[in-house]
Structure 1
Amino acid sequence: MSTRSPTLNTRVSRLSATPRRRRPKFRPSSAVAVLILIVLAVAWLVPVLWALATSLKSETDAGAPGGWIGAGGITFDAYAKVLSSGQIPTWAFNSLLTSVLITVLTVVISALAGYAFSRLDFSGRKWLLAVIIGSIVIPPQVLIVPLFYEMLSLNMIDTYWGIILPQLIAPAMVFILKKFFDQIPNELEDAARVDGAGRMRIFLQVVVPLSRPILAAVSIFVFIGAWNNFLWPFIVINDSSLMTLPVGLQTIKSAFGVQYAQNMASALLAALPLILVFLFFQRQIIKGISSTGFGNS
């Protein structure tokens, strides 16, 4: 007669029935892929490190040939001059305000449009979707002149809305969200419809909670694009107090020629928020991209 308790026997049987994980086999293709990723990472990291090293030099050392560290050692003079020469806090606030508003409004518009293309059957749906997909390949620079005249006619030059409104339409994000919404089972919406839910309630209470990964990824992509946008804010804004950070940093010039250390310090200051966004939200970005289904197509 066994002295083991039934609970212990059950645990033992479960442990014995659990298959052991096998170590992944070495594949040459995996080694090649890892090697390519390492090369690409180094190719991206070296210019960033060079810019950082240059920004920590004096202007004399930055303009002279030499190693990563200047003869005078590490100095933060370039950052001090950049921060004291312009309206950095004002420009950073303008960039943050416009980027957040562009992100929120673009995600709302793109999500509603993507859901309509995914679930609604209306006249001209295929043609309109084809126009949206085709507009993805149109360079934004082509639309600068008509957009400028449109903002001028609306008296939105030198205003926040002059920066924001032309950037709200994102055909690529509409298409990405439409692809994601196609993967949500219709049975979930049918069950909510049986309970008396309307179309908008289904979208807000069923579709949106299931779409959080892709919505987070789209939000990050839109925010990065809005923060980095230089050309349109440069054209539509002349008032220095309304300039965004990328535009404002370009106005900090010196009468003594090119200041390499200050230029690198300005570039790193403008890129720092985006680096932090990526470091904190890289999981959401990867999860959102994998949720679109493009990798399985």
Structure 2
Amino acid sequence: MKRTFGDHLILALLIAAACVWMLPMLWVLAMALKPNAMLVQSTSGVLPWPHTFEHFAALMRVSLTPRWLLNSLLVAVGMTALTLVLSSLAGYAFARIAFPGRRAVFLLVMAGLMIPEQAVLVPLHAMFAGWNLHSTYFSLIAPRLAVPMGVFLMTQFFKAVPRELEEAAELDNAGRLKVFWSVMLPLSRPALTTLGIFTFLYAWNDFLWPVVTAAQPEMYTLSVGLGSLQGNFAMSEGLGFLMASAVFASAPMLIIYAVFQRYIVQGIAMTGGK
């Protein structure tokens, strides 16, 4: 289909908006690659010349940075996998299984969207302190597994799947679990990918709960660990070190989003069912 002048104008405006949106990221990257001697004189410009990787090398020389990176990967991957399991099971139950009180339970789950995480911070801290589970991977992962938005996303997706597909499987004597595993889960790949990406990014960026539960530096996630460096050490290393830490922490998120962005669009489009 031939594009009109209006289509070209909209495309040009979107490209311009994208360039403006990317300028701060390019500026941060440029400062991360500039020597501190240049940054002392001026922080303007997005062309890092002359450039240096010393700030990134200094960041990796911090003894616990690799451990913090490993902690973030373990927490993000574990939280993502468990969230996908729980949300898909709950979403399928709400969408397809007519059990007593289904509507009331679903509304109760959705009510969790209205409760800010700060409101349950003190009870969570007291609970895990009573169990003596602070500074463990369990304490970093478990409180974030209750994801009402994930349940809602999977429920809406399963509602949009034609019932005829399930009925065809049931005619072949497939049980409820078999239908879920062999029919519904393969069809829900776009929604699962979308939920997985959002969960991973949330887990990677999470700061409030990890800074509460991770009392030992060895259990810091990357966001908490790099935040702890933005004191005397960062001041001694200069502005370039701070920008390098920001690039180091955000690079995995940008890569994941760039690779899986089409699945996000598909997943959101396919969850608009009745």
TM-score scaled to structure 1, two decimals? 0.85
Deviates more, 1:171-180 or 1:242-251: 242-251
Equivalence map 1:91-240=2 (5 Å): 91-240=68-217
Which stretch of the first structure deviates more once superposed, 133-142 or 116-125? 133-142
Identity of aligned residues (%): 37
Task: Describe the superposition over 1:24-46 as per-residue Cα deviations: whole angstroms up to 9, x where unpaired.
Answer: 35163x45643453243123201
Residue 4 of structure 2: SS of its match in structure 1? coil
Q: In the alignment, which of 22, 26, 29 is matched to residue 4 of structure 2? A: 26
Paired residue secondary structure (2:235) = coil
Alignment-derived partner of residue 264 in structure 1: 243
Could you tell me which residue of structure 2 aligns to residue 58 of structure 1?
Answer: 35
CA distance in 1, matches of 2:84, 2:145: 9
- Quote the offset at 1:70 in angstroms: 8.5
AA in 2 matched with 1:280: V
Q: CA deviation at 1:69?
A: 6.3
Quick check: 1:163–1:232 contact (8 Å CA) kept in 2?
yes
User: Residue in 2 aligned with 1:275?
Assistant: 254
| Displacement of 1:60 | 3.4
Which residue pairs with 1:291 in the alignment?
A: 270
Q: Deviations over 1:120-150 (max 9, x none)?
A: 1122211222222232132222221111111
SS in 2 for 1:247: helix
Residue 80 of structure 1 deviates from its aligned partner by: 1.5
What is the rounded CA distance, in whole Å, between the counterparts of 1:70 and 1:207 in structure 2? 50
The structure in which a higher percent of residues are helix is 2
Answer yes or no: is the 8 Å Cα contact 1:215–1:288 preserved in 2.
yes
User: Bigger radius of gyration, 1 or 2?
Assistant: 1
Aligned to 1:84, which of 54, 58, 61?
61
Task: Report the aligned-residue RMSD.
Answer: 2.2
SS at match of 1:68: coil
1:73 & 1:231 partners in 2: Cα distance?
Answer: 37
- Encode CA deviations 1:78-136: one digit per residue, 9 max, x unaligned: 11211112412111111111111100000100000011110111222112222222321
Give the 3 Å change call, closer, same or farther, for CA 71–49 of structure 1 in structure 2.
closer
**TM-score normalised by structure 2 residue count:** 0.91
Deviation at 1:249, TM superposition (A): 1.1
Whether the aligned pair in 1 keeps the contact of 2:234 and 2:242 (CA below 8 Å) is: no
How many pairs does the alignment contain?
272
Q: Secondary structure at the match of 1:73?
A: coil
> Gaps spanning 5+ residues in structure 1: where?
1-22
Query: In structure 2, how many angstroms separate the alpha carbons of the residues matched to 1:279 and 1:226?
Result: 18
Cα displacement (A) at 1:251: 2.0
Extract structure 1 runs of 4+ deviating beyond 4 A.
69-72
Does 221-230 or 79-88 show the bigger shift?
A: 79-88
Q: Is the 8 A contact 1:52 1:265 kept in 2?
A: yes
Listed as ranges, the gaps of 5+ residues in structure 2 are none
**Letter matched to residue 269 of structure 2:** S
Q: Distance in 2 between matches of 1:129 and 1:37?
A: 39
Counterpart of 2:223 (choices 236, 246, 254) is: 246
Q: Aligned equivalents of 1:27 and 1:123: distance in 2? A: 57
105-114 or 273-282, which deviates more? 273-282
- Amino acid in structure 2 at the alignment position of 1:270: A
User: Closer, same or farther in 2 for the Cα pair 1:82/1:118, shift >3 Å?
Assistant: same
CA 115–143 in structure 1, closer or farther in 2 if over 3 Å, else same:
same
